[in-house]
């Protein structure tokens, strides 16, 4: 068994390193971008976080924005897992593995983003229960550490079991993995709610301190996540022998459309509350949408995001447009970018502006921050590429174990 496991891993790595010229160009460009990220991080390590644009006023920036957004992408894998394993929709069973791959890569990005955001990363061992001091259940951040790592473990474990079975030419025993599937469905909701509560639990920041934040996180995640997965599936359908059925695409597109509609309703509700009778607590929203006392760094960004969001949602709601594959891809990319801006920088940064005692200090990321962020995004894409390559290889039967007597 151990021997077989070793072969599985070796074959997997070898398989991931086989491919066309285009595939290699893709891998090498990702590695180059990771290199830039590592270099930028080395600067941050030696100089401290002062090489970022963050200050005591805006103490979280690009890293935590991206962290928040990608937790949503990780959670969205549930939109494939739910129909595939729980509703036994045969069309989805094949692509569920891709969804889990997306979840794993998104989680690796999330954990990297929080790590690079730490001022003293060498002390992360303080988080290990017993050895350190894990402030659970009081700190929502402790909860987040727990749920993110748990979700990562689940999303590694389930596909690993299924793929390893297929590798040995066996069917995976559903009885064995079904409880974990069930757990991962609830866990997916939990990771995103907990991340929302991280913000919503702070009365110091009225912009975040609202009950709608959690549900809104879920709605936007279930729009942006499946939109991202749809693009990935199309790329796979186009470039590999792994053919995606039309029904899967149109069902997922419907999920994206409905989630995007719900997200817009919630956005409207938030805007109404902030602007019908603006109070002192509306300052952040005023800053974000219209600028405050001449400070308006985020205004062009948020209006770009809102326009893209509205256009994409409206067009996705029209069956004819959604059924057209090229238009669908365009709309998915548009919606993904819109939510990335809105839920990342558009949510995290204005929470700090103005400060709790009314001071306005704006934020914009530095080159170092952009470099590190790019490196992490490239790292996530690299993980996704390798996982998907191996999964497809096994599912298409291009690489299997020769040992038939394995137990």
Partner 1 sequence: MRLKDLRHKIMSALKYDRSLASKEIKSDCHSDSIPPTTCPKNPPKMVGGAFGKKTSRRAAIGLAGGGVGAAFAFSACSNMLDEETKDKLGLSWEEFFKKNYRLMTDQEKGETVKRIEKLAKVKNNEIINVSDTPAKDGVLFGYAFNISKCQGYMDCVEACVKENNQDRESNMQYINIFEMENGNLNIESGNSKYSHEVPVEGKFYLGTQCFHCEKAPCIEVCPVGATWKEPDGIVVVDYDWCIGCRYCEAACPYWGRRFNWGAPQIPNEELNTEQHYLGNRKRGKGVMEKCTFCIQRTRKGLQPACVDACPTGSRTFGNLLDPNSEIRYIIENKKVFRLKEDLGTEPKFWYYMD
* 280 scored as a contact of partner 1 (CB under 8 A): yes
* Cα dihedral 43, 47, 51, 52 sign: positive
* 279 scored as a contact of partner 1 (CB under 8 A): no
From the list 70-78, 163-171, 350-358, 373-381, the region that binds partner 1 by CB under 8 A is 350-358
User: Residue 196: which of 261, 147, 256 has the closest Cα?
Assistant: 147
- Of 2, 3, 138, 279, the one binding partner 1 (CB under 8 A) is 138
* 60 scored as a contact of partner 1 (CB under 8 A): yes
- Of 7, 15, 23, 51, the one binding partner 1 (CB under 8 A) is 51
Measure CA of the first residue to CA of the last residue in the chain; give whole Å. 7
Task: Centre a 10 Å sphere on the Cβ of residue 165 and count the other Cβ atoms it contains.
Answer: 16
Whole-angstrom CA distances from 38 to 42, 65, 109, 211, 369 are 6, 20, 14, 38, 11
* 165 scored as a contact of partner 1 (CB under 8 A): no
Binding to partner 1 (CB under 8 A) within 366-385 occurs at 367
* 147 scored as a contact of partner 1 (CB under 8 A): no
- Of 72, 351, 365, 375, the one binding partner 1 (CB under 8 A) is 351
From the list 15-23, 126-134, 298-306, 339-347, the region that binds partner 1 by CB under 8 A is 126-134
From the list 154-162, 199-207, 216-224, 308-316, the region that binds partner 1 by CB under 8 A is 199-207
Which of residues 127 and 172 has its CB atom nearest to partner 1 in the complex?
A: 127
* 323 scored as a contact of partner 1 (CB under 8 A): no
Binding to partner 1 (CB under 8 A) within 205-224 occurs at 205
From the list 17-25, 220-228, 243-251, 348-356, the region that binds partner 1 by CB under 8 A is 348-356
* Cα dihedral 383, 384, 389, 391 sign: positive
> Which residues in this chain contact partner 1 in the complex, by CB under 8 A?
42-43, 46-52, 54-57, 59-60, 114, 117-124, 126-127, 131-135, 138-142, 145, 198, 201-205, 280, 283, 351-352, 354-359, 367
């Amino acid at each position: 068994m151990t021997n077989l496991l070793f072969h599985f891993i070796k074959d997997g790595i070898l398989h991931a390193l086989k491919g066309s010229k285009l595939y290699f160009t893709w891998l090498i460009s990702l590695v180059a971008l990771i290199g830039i990220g590592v270099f930028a991080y080395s600067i941050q390590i030696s100089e401290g976080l002062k090489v970022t644009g963050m200050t005591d006023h805006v103490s979280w920036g690009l890293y935590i924005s991206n962290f928040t957004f990608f937790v949503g992408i990780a959670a969205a894998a549930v939109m494939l897992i739910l129909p595939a394993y729980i509703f036994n929709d045969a069309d989805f069973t094949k692509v569920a593995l891709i969804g889990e791959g997306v979840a794993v890569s998104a989680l690796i990005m999330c954990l990297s983003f929080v790590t690079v955001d730490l001022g003293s990363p060498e002390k992360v061992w303080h988080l290990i229960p017993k050895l350190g001091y894990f402030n659970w259940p009081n700190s929502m951040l402790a909860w987040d550490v727990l749920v993110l790592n748990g979700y990562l473990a689940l999303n590694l474990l389930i596909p690993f079991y299924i793929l390893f079975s297929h590798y040995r030419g066996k069917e995976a025993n559903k009885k064995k993995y079904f409880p974990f599937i069930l757990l991962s469905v609830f866990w997916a909701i939990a990771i995103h709610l907990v991340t929302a509560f991280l913000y919503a639990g702070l009365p110091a920041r009225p912009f975040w301190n609202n009950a709608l934040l959690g549900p809104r996180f879920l709605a936007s995640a279930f729009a942006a996540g499946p939109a991202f997965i749809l693009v990935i599936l199309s790329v796979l359908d186009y470039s590999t022998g792994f053919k995606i059925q039309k029904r899967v695409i149109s069902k997922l597109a419907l999920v994206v459309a409905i989630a995007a509609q719900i997200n817009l309703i919630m956005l409207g509700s938030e805007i109404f509350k902030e602007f019908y009778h603006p109070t002192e607590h509306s300052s952040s929203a005023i800053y974000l949408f219209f600028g405050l006392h001449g400070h308006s760094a985020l205004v062009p960004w948020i209006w770009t995001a809102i326009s893209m969001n509205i256009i994409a949602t409206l067009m996705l709601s029209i069956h004819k447009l959604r059924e057209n594959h090229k238009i669908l891809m365009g709309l998915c990319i548009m919606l993904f970018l819109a939510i990335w801006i809105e839920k990342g920088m558009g949510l995290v940064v204005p929470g700090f502006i103005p400060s709790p005692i009314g001071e306005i200090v704006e934020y914009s990321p530095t080159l170092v921050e952009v470099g590190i962020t790019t490196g992490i995004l490239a790292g996530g894409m690299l993980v996704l590429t390798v996982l998907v390559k191996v999964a497809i290889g096994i599912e298409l039967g291009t690489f299997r174990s020769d040992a038939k007597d394995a137990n």
